[in-house]
Structure 1
Amino acid sequence: MFTKIMKRGQRNKVSKAEAIEPPPTSNAPPPSVTVNHASRSAVAAGPPSSGGNLHVHPVPSVPSSGVVEVLPLLKDVPVSDRHVLFLKKLQICCFSFDFSDTLKSAREKEIKRQTLLELVDLVQSGSCKLNETLQEELIRMVSVNVFRCLPPASHENSASETGDPDEDDVYLEPSWPHLQLVYELVLRYIVSADTDTKVAKRYLDHSFVLKLLDLFDTEDPREREYLKTILHRVYGKFMVHRPFIRKAINNIFYRFIFETERHSGIGELLEILGSIINGFALPMKEEHKLFLVRALIPLHKPKSISTYHQQLSYCITQFVEKDYKLADTVIRGLLKYWPVTNCGKEVLFLGELEEVLEGTLSAEFQRCMVPLFRQIGRCLNSSHFQVAERALFLWNNEHIVGLIAQNRQVVLPLIFEALEKNMQGHWNQAVHGLTANVRRMFLEMDSELFEECDQQYAEREARSHELSEQRELTWKRLEAVAAEAGGEDMVMVS
């Protein structure tokens, strides 16, 4: 989808045309542009306000039927008239319509759609350069259309607190026929070679970016896909926005992790971050390491991790590939948030752990191997066969087996008991077979160590059995004494 959106601009090229410039009397304010009786304030033509804040006009009310006029194409009018005509077209595109009824204002909806199509073709063709006034009005029109209150999420409508997001019906934005074209227009404006970043950043300012990020909570996957593409392009083209974007995404994650645990666009934001992390320069800044510890690793906590785990795992492994010294931090972070009763999450964690261990060197492995293999030992004995099976699959990875072999004196004693318990009593035959393979691997790796661990395990089992017999004998003695002293009133509990 990402590539498809970017390639779309190669089609429908229009012929070269002259730049759209204001009329010769541009020193005077341009005429007030209205579309017949539409209730919208006149388009301001003054210079952008200081600080570059985006001032969005109120959304114009829907015009009555037959009010919106069909304007000529820009290429069909003289150059001197194009400036005013362009403003008129932008104002037509500012109208909002009721899409709950497909027949309502059908003519006006089609006029707006055709106008948006013309503007998209014009911007993506590169056949004209928009002056600052037109750029400001273009971004204002985009803001009027896309910055809106999102409808309540499906879980809010159903008052569900524990529902699975994957089970909810996918919400589709009714106004998408217009909204898609508006997103396409702003995307073409951003990627255009004719767009001067020094000018554009006055209108695509921090306020605009922040409102764009707020829209990631939409439940419509098509809109999130466009938002992801647009924000990624903004990050790439406007270097001044990069720290702000990272901080704003950070704040979204904090709110999601520690407050709501509800957000529809975490996966898309992590996709953007995956590309950003891939471009981090070395040595890595302390700011980026803090982002890993304070935001990315805690993202393993929410129950809905399955909806974004693939993207999260990619970001985590990117950090380890960039700086192998972070492997210990990541592994200890995974252990901190390791699920206790959620077997589905455990399977995800084990898969991510394998990817992290693939990029881990021996020195970092040694720092965390004791708590790590204590946890893996617990997974080996899980009654949920998928958890036990996934833990045993770690021994199919050559790099992990190499790390284990180098540190077998520590690792094998930690998990030997878990392996023996699986051999003696695990209910699943696949787990039983995989456990036998792992035992055989350790036996071939170091037979003396294996025999030593086997002997220690046998001694522990014998002591445990002896203690159990002593406890049973002690209780029997207590029962005998109580029976002699209590007489007929005593109640025996077996």
Structure 2
Amino acid sequence: MLRQFLSKIPRSFGNSDSPELTRPNSFMTAGPHTHRSNSFNSGCGRPCATKRTSSSIFPASVVAGIEPLLPFKNAPNSEKMNLFVSKVSLCCATFDFSDATKNSIEKDVKRQTLLELLDFVASGSIRFSEPAILAMCRMCSTNLFRVFPPNYRSITSNNGENDDDDPIFCSAWPHLQIVYDLLLKFITSSCLDAKVAKKYIDHAFILRLLDLFDSEDPRERECLKTILHRVYGKFMVHRPLIRKDISNIFYRFVFEEERHNGITELLDIFGSIISGFALPLKEEHKIFLQRVLIPLHKPKTLGVYFQQLSYCVTQFIDKDPKLSSTVIKGLLKYWPITNSQKEVMFLDELKDILEEIDMVEFQKVMVPLSWQIGRCINSFHFQVAERALLFWNKEHIINIIAHNRHVIFPIILPALEKNARNHWNPSVLNLL
């Protein structure tokens, strides 16, 4: 069986330092969505098997004369990097994990080899050669990159409005997790030269990583979040493209699809990115707030990622308080009309902004804002009315309202009087 397993590995005989292994562009002959029939993680949750994308952008490379099952401790230092390439290439063999009885020996050999590679990379003993970097990227491409089928839940659960669906776990996760751990250790290793690695961990590679954020397995998305954050930190040349590509995912989510499994994790990443923005903020960053983050309040599934979105918005306002009026105008534009739970979230975010807003920015929005708060006070949904009335418990909000009472009171007082006479909920009446 082991011979059959090894025979699956495409071999390119010759020294690992061959120039053919150091020219990534010469192999980019296939499109990024070419499919492989031998799915590494077939049965990853959705009813249709996930399709494997081609790894033909990376050449096959098993070093002649190096036995890939040889332990690293038994190899001389001069041969360890060649052995690394052979072991990594061995792990390019893919298996069907929807059937646990198929290829069980080969799967175990691959798992043990991956664990051995993980220990070797973590040890940080030898600087990675360019062929080793190429082999690693090829192996990760072969094992991780695949195209997910359409989400059947978009049909069965009212366009994804039901947020209580149980997560779907991938049957290949025992192997996938090790590959992700190996990629993370590899990227963060001090033995990896970023100047060389950026040729292989390039824009196309990062785009494929971003595609994987639509995985329904939350464990995979969490691994991807950590890896992409490390890539962003290590490869400065890719930072603008990463921000742009994530923005495009958000655009499609808001204006086209209204479903994507990884919005929460991508916003988590952007929260860290925004905290690192230099002052004064660049115009492109302000545009991102206006055209991407604010429209993300529109989808029905806001509750899934609201905490992360609110954090990103708060980061912007902390860096530039003048943006508070821009955010409030955006909230008013996308204010929910028939979704009371979303309205509660909007009021919570609005309260946090008003607790920090200065007088000049408040006066820019106080009239439309007062009308909206008045409507919320009169809401028959007790939580909406309650949240709106709780604004009056915040000292800073009371002060800015009192300073502009000649404008605000004529709008708010009729709503308060109507509520005091007619509201059905005792807890709301107690706040008046």
Deviates more, 1:87-96 or 1:319-328: 87-96
Letter paired with 1:95: A
CA contact (8 A) 2:68 2:87 kept: no
TM-score for both structures, normalised by structure 1: 0.76
Report the 3-state secondary structure (helix = DSSP H, G, I; strand = E; otherwise coil) of the residue aligned with 1:303: coil
Asked if 1:399 is matched to 2:373, the reply is no
Name the structure 2 match of 1:251: 248
CA distance in 1, matches of 2:230, 2:29: 23
Q: Matches of 1:188 and 1:54 in 2, distance apart?
A: 26
> Which residue, 136, 139, 159 being the options, matches 1:138?
136
Pick from 170, 181, 188: which aligns with 2:178? 181
Q: Give the alignment partner of residue 78 of structure 1, picking from 63, 76, 79.
A: 76
Q: Report the equivalent of 1:15.
A: none
Distance between the aligned counterparts of 1:52 and 1:205, measured in 2?
14
Task: Give the letter for the 1:429 counterpart.
Answer: P
Query: Is the contact between residue 68 and residue 86 of structure 2 (CA under 8 Å) also seen in structure 1?
Result: no
The equivalent of 2:44 in structure 1 is: none
Structure 1 residue 140, shift from structure 2 partner:
0.7
Match of 1:238 in 2: 235
Residue 362 of structure 1: how far off its partner (Å):
0.8
Pairing of 1:377-388 with structure 2 (within 5 A): 377-388=374-385
* Displacement after TM superposition at 1:210 (Å): 0.7
Following superposition, the deviation at residue 391 of structure 1 comes to 0.8
C-alpha distance in 1, partners of 2:281/2:422?
A: 48
Alpha-carbon offset, residue 195 of structure 1: 1.3
Does 2:82 correspond to 1:107? Answer: no
- Counterpart residue number, 2:125: 127
The structure that has the greater radius of gyration is 1
Shift of 1:152: 3.8
Cα displacement string for residues 194-232 of structure 1 (whole angstroms, at most 9, x for unaligned residues): 211101101100000111111111111000001111111
Q: In the superposition, relative to structure 1, how do residues 126 and 84 fare at CA in structure 2: closer, same or farther (>3 Å)?
A: closer
Structure 1 distance, partners of 2:327, 2:215, is 31
- 1:219 equivalent to 2:220? Answer no
Task: Give per-residue Cα distances to partners, 1:70-129, cap 9 Å, x unaligned.
Answer: 812111123344344323211221111111111221111111111111111111111122
**Distance in structure 2 (CA, Å) of the matches to 1:261 and 1:201:** 33
Instruction: Determine the structure 2 residue equivalent to 1:321.
Output: 318
Answer yes or no: is 1:199 the counterpart of 2:173.
no
- Does the 8 Å CA contact 2:89/2:139 hold for their aligned counterparts? yes
1:8-23 superposed matches below 5 A = none
Partner residue of 2:257?
A: 260
CA gap of 1:214–1:420, structure 2 versus 1, over 3 A, is same
| CA–CA separation in structure 1 for the residues paired with 2:353 and 2:251 | 24
Please state if 1:38 is matched with 2:13.
no
The corresponding residue for 1:93 is 91
Contact 1:317–1:356, Cα closer than 8 Å, also in 2: yes
Which one of 168, 172, 175 corresponds to residue 169 of structure 2? 172
CA 1:401–1:426 in structure 2 vs 1: closer, same or farther (change >3 Å)? same
Q: Does the aligned pair in 2 maintain the 1:358–1:400 contact within 8 Å?
A: yes
1:304 and 2:301 correspond: yes
The amino acid that maps onto 2:388 is A
Paired with 1:189 and 1:52, the residues of 2 have a C-alpha distance of: 24
1:319-358 map, 5 Å: 319-358=316-355
Q: Matched residues in 1 for 2:140 and 2:421: separation?
A: 67
Give the Cα separation in 2 of the matches to 1:232 and 1:249: 12
Secondary structure in structure 2 of the residue aligned to 1:254: helix
The CA distance in 2 between the partners of 1:303 and 1:88, in whole Å, is 49
- The residue type paired with residue 49 of structure 1 is R
CA contact (8 A) 2:267 2:312 kept: yes
Residue by residue over 1:34-75, the C-alpha shift from the partner in whole angstroms, topping out at 9 and shown as x without a partner, is 964225353784243365986789869599xxxxx9812111
Q: 1:278 to 1:302 in 2, by over 3 A?
A: same
- Helix, strand or coil at the partner of 1:164: coil
* 2:372 counterpart of 1:372: no
Q: Does 1:359 align with 2:356?
A: yes
Q: What residue is the counterpart of 1:471 in the other structure?
A: none
In the alignment, the residues of structure 1 paired with residue 318 and residue 349 of structure 2 have an alpha-carbon distance, to the nearest angstrom, of: 14
- Structure 1 alignment gaps of length 5 or more: 1-33, 64-68, 436-494
C-alpha distance 132-241 of structure 1, shift in aligned 2 (>3 A): same
Counterpart of 2:176 in 1: which secondary structure? helix
Corresponding residue pairs, total: 397
Greater relative contact order: 1 or 2 (C-alpha under 8 angstroms, separation 6 or more)?
2
Give 3-state SS (helix, strand or coil) of 2:190's partner: coil
Q: Could you list the per-position Cα deviations for residues 252-277 of structure 1 after superposition, in whole angstroms to 9, with x for gaps in the alignment?
A: 11111110001000111111111111
Q: Equivalent residue for 2:23?
A: 49
Please, which of 150, 153, 163 is the counterpart of residue 151 of structure 2?
A: 153
CA contact (8 A) 2:9 2:89 kept: no
- Residue identity opposite 2:126 in structure 1: C
Q: Tell me the C-alpha RMSD between the 2 structures.
A: 2.4
State the one-letter code of the partner of 2:198. K
Q: Is the 8 A contact 2:114 2:178 kept in 1?
A: yes
Deviation at 1:361, TM superposition (A): 0.6
